[in-house]
Amino acid sequence: MEGSRKSVKKIHKILSPTFKIITSLTILVSITFVIRININIDVAGIVASVIGPIGVILLIQNQLNNKKKSKTFLNS
């Protein structure tokens, strides 16, 4: 049982960051599409270019924080 639990945890560690990235990207894309329908494309382009990098930066920051937490947790 213990071996299977470890493998599941490994798979989860690999999948969760990629899943977060995929979901955040789909959310960003859907937001930009909604904006493009409602507002002019110029405004949507500006908003997307502002939201996109911020979302990616926050995501990377979150991943780095998670790695730091897991390292300190393992060391204790």
Whole-number Å distance between alpha carbons of 34 and 25: 14
- pLDDT score of 72: 60
Close Cβ partners of 62 (under 8 Å, ≥ 6 residues apart): 20
Angstrom CA distances, 51 to 59, 61, 71, stand at 12, 15, 30
For residue 57, what pLDDT band results from cuts at 50, 70 and 90? confident
Per-residue pLDDT tens over the stretch 3-37: 566 666 666 666 677 777 777 778 777 777 766 66
* Those residues with Cβ within 8 angstroms of residue 59's Cβ, 6 or more apart along the chain or in another chain: 20, 21, 24
pLDDT at 71: 63
Range of 52's domain?
A: 2-75
* Number of domains, the chain: 1
Q: Phi/psi of residue 63, each to 5°?
A: -65, -40
Average pLDDT of the segment spanning 41-55: 73
